[in-house]
Structure 1
């Protein structure tokens, strides 16, 4: 079993890389505990880039970035919530200069604000956040 204090390795994958995509994410995307953690179903779309955190061969978390700049489906395995900020930062790096937005649960908001996102609005369960394109003011 891998140690939980190790620095994860991050891999990017899309569904165009079917064998790799389904090997890494397939076992998790349809799991009830993942849906419960996310507050909904993690959808995949053509062109979505997934950043996957690996501890050895174990997937410890993931996040998706769409072509339209939506950062979605931030998931970490139980006990690995410390990876959230690293995954959001990796999503920002993957997106490059694009403006980004997300709707996230309050427990995940700090990971986004640590990566430069600003809170636009909040409901009882979620916050809408955005990060302007590099060089733009929030």
Structure 2
């Protein structure tokens, strides 16, 4: 990916831009379907903007994944590792660092408790059915 995609994406919110482009696309398609063929050039331009925006979003995701890898965050777990994690949560609850991170994201105690219960009750079942 070219670094100028990332640079372009940081000047505005690419996710908000995505919805703006998508909404405009729908408006243009309806206009063309209703016989206003003069909208075709704008539809083509809007589609090109959508492609550029998708490249921006893709580059930002790639950059974030690289930053996660560099920081040591693991982004893939085997089924065995996930089963072990679910077992650990069922025996000891969520790790304090996880609880702290969830609270930093404004999770309530009830929501955190519900997540623990979900992992304990359904974690093993979900893993067995997805393997």
Work out whether the TM-score is over 0.5. no
Query: In proportion to residue count, which structure has more helix?
Result: 2
Q: TM-score range by the shorter chain?
A: under 0.3
Structure number with the bigger relative contact order (C-alpha 8 A, sep ≥ 6) is 2
More strand by share: 1
TM-score (ref. length: structure 2): 0.26
Larger Rg: 2
